[in-house]
A = this chain, B = another copy of it.
Amino acid sequence: MTADEHAMLVRAARMYYVDDASKVEIAETLGVSRFKVARLLEQARERGVVTITVHDAGTLVPELAASVATHLGLRRAVVVEAAGGEADVRTEVGLAAAHLLGETLHEGEVVGLAWGRTLTAMSAAMPPLPRVDVVQLTGAVGADLDESPVEVVRRVALRSGGSARPIFAPLVVDDPRTADALRRQPDVAAALRMFDDVTTAILAVGSWDPPVSQLLDALPPGDAAALREEGVRAEVATILIGDGGEVLATQFARRCITIRADQLRRIPRVIAVAGGLAKAKATMAVARSGLLTELVTDRSLAEAVLEMPPVTTARPEA
């Protein structure tokens, strides 16, 4: 093909697709028949001079969602399309979780929130909610106020008009004694008592292998290495989980201000929010733990967990 032909291809493509000119107009401008123009445009698409992309990020994939729910023994799953990097995936999955809450929360519920970048994204996209009370399920971590559990709780409560019960205490402290003392703090104790009233909990999934976890990032290297030795592969709300879904009762737990697995198990609705291939193994482990009732995720994670053996021990129906 000559340079002239190519130039004509590009010119026709510009006029048709960018300037919305009709093929007849283009034909007149270029001095060729309208049929020629049609053939040029056809070629332009074949050769990749013109590319048309449909961005389906954010679209629900109900068929996949149904398979995933069955496969993981959950009452419901939500699967969205997501493209791009980790941050984009988090935004999409967070948005989907926000929508899910917007559509399914009932007035008067008590919502428990863990934290993580995905939940930060969720709280940022939260639509108006019915009046619910919101409680933080774990202590606070990290210096970045914008991503802290407190902020997540604040924003969700704001959208609902209900009360917010944050926990102004560190998630992990140096020894069990300090943790006990903190738990006795009136404000903290009030939050912990509220755990028994939670009707819907929202959790992010942390992966330890590969390491995609805000908790893991925040932990002192010594702790992280020791826990990994003990078989930790995933975590939700600072509850540590092994590959087979077993909840690992570690000394570490005594140093954390957070909800316990037995408490979480009594909550009627527990939603995990996690996207991206890297979190697939961890999400599978969490699903096996039987702590969850629902999952919000993206296509890549959904397809990955469907490749793994199904979860057989379903959580009892609510």
By a beta-carbon cutoff of 8 Å, the part of chain A in contact with chain B is 3, 6-7, 10, 13-14, 17-18, 44, 48-56, 58-60, 99
Contact = CB atoms under 8 A, between A and B. Distances in A.
B6 A58 contact: yes
B3 A99 contact: yes
A56 B14 contact: yes
Given A18-B54, A49-B54, 11 more contacts: A7-B60, A10-B56, A10-B59, A13-B54, A14-B56, A18-B52, A49-B55, A51-B52, A52-B52, A52-B53, A53-B53
Contacts of A56: 10, 14, 49
A79 to B, nearest CB: 12
A57 to B, nearest CB: 9
As for how many copies of this chain the complex holds, the number is: 2
B54 A53 contact: no
A10 B61 CA distance: 12
A54 B14 contact: yes
A210 to B, nearest CB: 29
Contact of A55 (B7, B50, B53): B50
Contacts of A14: 54, 56
